[in-house]
């Protein structure tokens, strides 16, 4: 999975990364989905152990352009996990209360506690993406936020949070097809917004913003992975593999019971 990692200090070079790559898996879509089911079962085991051990914290950051597949990733990668130990945090337009604080205030409150996996559906990176593209604050403001974000994520990591950040990389043609699918499918029309088309016109600006943000904030303690996401089954497979490999590396184990239970007899 290192092929999709943006190494600290390297440029993201999104234009050189293929959104339709499926080189990790030599089989077809059907075989990929079969493997994903096996990975789902393994993730369920690891998540149960994470929750029981109550030691580690895992933060998964999902970022993408409109229709990039954040919701689908959450639905398929985390299928079957215990919702008691997994939370999803979405970040939309800040409320008046949130605007009265620094831009990381609302983010910090949603980070995982011990034993939890928290998935950010969009995140603090919106403050160097949308904010930058739409000129909501001057460059002198958003440009210093890269350092803020590196320091914020370093704090989380130092306090025991494992951070994985995924940019779901689709191309402009695929986005058009997904928008068209939303319009043509009655059950999906609710997802479509006319504003999405206005954002689409800013595609190059967003790609520039993502490229700089990923390049400047992929660190040893909070790495970025650029995931080929045109093929949804492959996207899910790669993210599942990275997540499971990372969790297995934590060397977790089930804790001993708080009380001695050897020899306990349960009455009829």
- What proportion of the chain, given as a percentage, has pLDDT over 70? 100
* Host H or E run for residue 49: helix 29-53
Q: Please tell me the distance from the alpha carbon of residue 67 to that of residue 143, in angstroms, as a whole number.
A: 26
pLDDT band at residue 250 under the 50/70/90 scheme:
very high
pLDDT in tens, 34-85: 999 999 999 999 999 999 999 999 999 999 999 999 999 999 999 989 888 9
Q: Please tell me the distance from the alpha carbon of residue 205 to that of residue 215, in angstroms, as a whole number.
A: 15
pLDDT band at residue 25 under the 50/70/90 scheme:
confident
pLDDT band at residue 267 under the 50/70/90 scheme:
confident
Lowest pLDDT segment from 29-33, 108-112, 155-159: 29-33
pLDDT greater than 80 at residue 261:
no
Q: Over the chain, what is the mean pLDDT? A: 95
**In this predicted structure, what is the pLDDT of residue 222?**
98
Instruction: Tell how strand 5-6 and strand 224-228 pair up.
Output: antiparallel
Q: Which of 99, 91, 154 is nearest to 125 (CA)?
A: 91
> Model pTM?
0.95
Q: What is the mean pLDDT of residues 135-147?
A: 97
Cβ contacts of 184 within 8 Å, gap of 6 or more: none
Token output for 204: 């190059």
Q: What is the mean pLDDT of residues 208-222?
A: 98
- Contact between 252 and 50 under an 8 Å Cβ cutoff? The reply is yes
Q: Which residues of 14-48 are buried (b: 16+ CB within 10 A; e: fewer)?
A: beebebebbeebeeeeeebeebbeebbeebeebbb
Instruction: Tell how strand 57-64 and strand 117-121 pair up.
Output: parallel
**In this predicted structure, what is the pLDDT of residue 82?**
87
pLDDT greater than 80 at residue 263:
no
**In this predicted structure, what is the pLDDT of residue 238?**
97
Q: Which of 70, 77, 72 is nearest to 44 (CA)?
A: 77
Q: What is the mean pLDDT of residues 201-206?
A: 98
pLDDT greater than 90 at residue 129:
yes
Tokens 């990176």 found at: 125
Q: Which residues of 57-80 are buried (b: 16+ CB within 10 A; e: fewer)?
A: bbbbbbbbbbbbbbeebbebbbbe
Q: Please tell me the distance from the alpha carbon of residue 140 to that of residue 144, in angstroms, as a whole number.
A: 7
**In this predicted structure, what is the pLDDT of residue 259?**
76
Backbone angles phi, psi at 186, to 5 degrees: -55, -35
**In this predicted structure, what is the pLDDT of residue 211?**
98
User: 247, exposed or middle or buried, with CB in 10 Å at 0-12, 13-18, 19+?
Assistant: buried
Q: What is the mean pLDDT of residues 229-233?
A: 97
CB atoms within 10 A of CB 90: 14
The answer to whether domain 2-248 has CATH 3.30.420.10 is no
Q: Please tell me the distance from the alpha carbon of residue 123 to that of residue 104, in angstroms, as a whole number.
A: 10
pLDDT band at residue 140 under the 50/70/90 scheme:
very high
Token output for 16: 């050189």
Q: What is the mean pLDDT of residues 126-136?
A: 96
- Contact between 60 and 111 under an 8 Å Cβ cutoff? The reply is no
pLDDT in tens, 91-100: 988 999 999 9
Kindly provide the residue ranges of all beta strands, DSSP E only, lying in 102-223, ordered along the sequence.
117-121, 161-169
* Host H or E run for residue 60: strand 57-64
């Amino acid at each position: 999975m290192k092929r999709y990692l943006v190494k600290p200090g390297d440029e993201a070079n999104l234009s050189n990364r293929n959104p339709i790559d499926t080189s990790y898996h030599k089989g077809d879509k059907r075989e990929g989905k079969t493997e994903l089911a096996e990975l789902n079962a393994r993730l369920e085991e690891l998540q149960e152990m994470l929750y029981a051990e109550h030691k580690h914290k895992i933060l998964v950051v999902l970022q993408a352009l409109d229709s990039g597949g954040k919701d689908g990733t959450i639905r398929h990668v985390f299928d079957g996990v215990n919702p008691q130990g997994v939370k999803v945090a979405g970040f939309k337009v800040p409320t008046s209360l949130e605007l009265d604080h620094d831009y990381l205030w609302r983010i910090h409150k949603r980070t995982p506690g011990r034993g939890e996996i928290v998935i950010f559906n969009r995140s603090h990176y919106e403050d160097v993406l949308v904010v930058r593209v739409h000129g909501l604050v001057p460059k002198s403001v958003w440009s210093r936020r890269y350092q803020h974000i590196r320091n914020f994520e370093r704090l989380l990591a130092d306090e025991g949070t494992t951070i994985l950040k995924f940019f779901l990389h689709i191309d402009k043609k695929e986005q058009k097809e997904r928008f068209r699918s939303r319009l043509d499918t009655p059950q999906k029309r609710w997802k479509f917004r006319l504003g999405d088309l206005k954002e689409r016109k800013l595609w190059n600006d967003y790609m520039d913003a993502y490229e700089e943000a990923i390049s400047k904030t992929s660190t040893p303690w909070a790495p970025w992975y650029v995931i080929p996401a045109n093929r949804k089954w492959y996207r899910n497979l790669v993210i599942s593999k990275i997540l499971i490999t990372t969790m297995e590396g934590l060397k977790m184990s089930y804790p001993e019971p708080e009380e001695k239970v050897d020899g306990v007899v349960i009455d009829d």
